[in-house]
Amino acid sequence: MGSFSGGCLCGEVRYEGSEAQGGGHCYCEDCRRSSGTSHCSHMIVSESRFSVQGEVRFFDAVADSGNTISRGFCPSCGSPIYSRNSGMPGMVIVRASSLDDPDVFAPGLIVYASRAPAWGQPRDDLPVFAEMPPASDIPNVEA
């Protein structure tokens, strides 16, 4: 994939990046609560290929894996922007909802599908995992 850009609702946070390395949809409870709907859509990018302007505030939560997920959002308008995962050093996890062109995101899998609410079920044309699969089971995704 080529380059992409995005930002928050109020425009105080803007970012640019390139060469996303796939990603997917997560239906865990923390993603649901922070998303405004049933799941988050996460696009994985090397932090060396990602730059952000404007203040991003982070909220840290420990995931089932034991990793700390730091969810970044605009302190003015609350829009989720990107996250960091202590188990994925050197990577940022861009919220696809914040992309200027959301269709540059090509999700490759769905995790924690068993936690999806009845009103926000996962699509069934991607590999679906009831929980978080071991890394060896995650399909290699071209983005």
Positions that interact with Zn ion (CB under 5 A): 8, 10, 12, 26, 28, 31, 74, 76-77
CB of 74 or CB of 116, closer to Zn ion: 74
DSSP per residue over 49-118, as a string? GEEEES--EEEEEE-TTSPEEEEEE-TTT--EEEEEETTSTTEEEEEGGGBSSGGG----EEE-GGG--T
Closer residue to Zn ion (CB): 31 or 116: 31
User: Closer CB to Zn ion, residue 33 or residue 48?
Assistant: 33
Min dist. Cβ of residue 26 to Zn ion (A): 3
Q: Write down the least CB distance from residue 2 to Zn ion, Å.
A: 25
Dihedral sign, Cα of residue 137, residue 85, residue 130, residue 78: negative
Contacts of 124 (CB under 8 A, 6+ apart): none
Q: Supply the minimum distance, in Å, between the C-beta of residue 29 and Zn ion.
A: 8
Q: Closest CB to Zn ion among 10 and 62?
A: 10
- Minimum Å distance from CB 95 to Zn ion? 11
